[in-house]
Amino acid sequence: MRAIVLSTALTFSTALSLVLTACGPSSAVTDARTAQADEPQTPARGAPVRQDAANKADAVPAFPEQTRAPESKSNVALKVETIADGIDHPWGSAVLPGDGSLLVASKTGKLWRIVPGKAKTEVTGVPKVDTRSQGGLHDVSLGPDFMTMRTVYLSFAETRDGGKTSTSLARGKLSADNSKLEGVQIIFRQEPAWESTGHFGSNLEWDSAGNLYLTVGDRQVPESRVLAQDINTHLGKVLRLTADGKAAEGNPFAGRTDAKPEVWSYGHRNVQGAAIHPGTGKLWTIEHGPRGGDEINIPEAGKNYGWPVICYCIDYPGNPIGEGITAKEGMEQPVYYFDPVIAPGDMIFYTGNLFPWKGDILASGLKTRDIVRLKLDGDKVIGEERVLTDQGRIRDIVQAPDGALYVLVDDAGKVLRVTPAA
């Protein structure tokens, strides 16, 4: 998935980070801009990726290249191999150490072990999953203790009392022969459960301290999405948990009676993709908007990311979301947004050497049916490219130990291994 393009080293500039993660420019940034006012301005570096007109035509980005960054072609010829097929809506994946085989979760509630190009076997012992609509078995992640304890974590949609559902988290031990999960327990349940079968979120990422970020969607319906602003619920949140599913130490709302202690950040719509930045160790997320408003954020402790009060989007029928505003004091701006949407499944930071994309974001596009590559300078997106455009709805991407990419294709029910053609 890469070719012969210069690999720009990431420069993690504090000033840029302040600009991108704050709701508005700080006084220090304002002073810096004033001091540079007489300096020549950098001209636009090219046209953006060809795409349809924006849904929210009146939206004005908060800063340059917050959306539609210049197209950055790497001209990489790709070699694409199918290493497994016949998987009904694959969703999440994890590479097992040692033999490089994969665990692949499917929407239908099945967990598969795939030895690339050789075997596909079902792993039994998965908890019961509600597969209706957007439900299913979602992400799979190896615990920090996997090398000694073989612990595996699963996020999924669970049926609860009264016909309600929740995003839930389970863990179990993968047997020595990789055939089954043993001692599976549900260690966290989103509260409140809701009578909805949509917007479960459900991505899993570990930080360097061994804490687990779990993303939980707003549960889709108008009555629940407003609760993304309510810190006394788990809806529309990024949660930070211990390996036992409890609130992690140092969470921003710990000790408050009006907040859930697991909440890390709030005001999210439906985060299905996330990754830990390899240089800074910070969590980055990518979330679904409705018509427009797919967002990339760097969620910080206790901060509000705006949904459904602010959004670079409109609702599905064409009406505004709330007051139709894109900014408000006390609410964070996205690092980057898409309008029209890509419908992001997951994202990674590429860290291998096979492709000249080291440090770039690779995001899976369900609607655009491609991988969206975002070139970064620090915390700022400076280029965009669409690759692997001929395989179907890309749901998930994971990097293999040798730098190759394993790619899950939702509608085709297959797993691909992608390498440079030359």
Catalytically active residues, by annotation: 199
Q: What burial letters (b/e) apply to 211-222, b meaning 16+ CB within 10 Å? A: bbbbbbbbbbee
- Which alpha helices (H) appear in 143-240, and where do they start and end? 146-149, 222-225
Q: How far is 107 from 87, CA to CA, in rounded Å?
A: 9
Distances (CA, A) of 420 to 115, 360, 370, 374, 388: 21, 16, 16, 18, 12
What b/e readout covers 363-396, taking b as 16+ CB neighbours within 10 angstroms?
bbbbebbbbbbbbbbbbbbbbbbbbbeebbbbbb
In order of 146, 219, 261, the CA distances from 191 in angstroms are: 28, 11, 12
Question: How far, in whole angstroms, is CA 6 from its chain's centroid?
Answer: 26
If DSSP codes are grouped into helix, strand and coil, which group holds residue 117? Answer: coil
Other Cβ atoms less than 10 A from the Cβ of 86: the count is: 8
Strands 165-174 and 181-189, by their bridges, are antiparallel
Count the Cβ atoms, other than its own, within 10 Å of residue 111: 22
Give the residue from 386, 391, 380 showing the smallest Cα distance to 50: 386
> 182 in helix, strand or coil?
strand
Structure tokens at 2: 């890469």
Asked if residue 192 has a cis previous peptide bond (ω within 30° of 0), the answer is yes
The Cα 307–Cα 260 span in angstroms is 18
Dig out the tokens for 329 from the structure.
């004091």
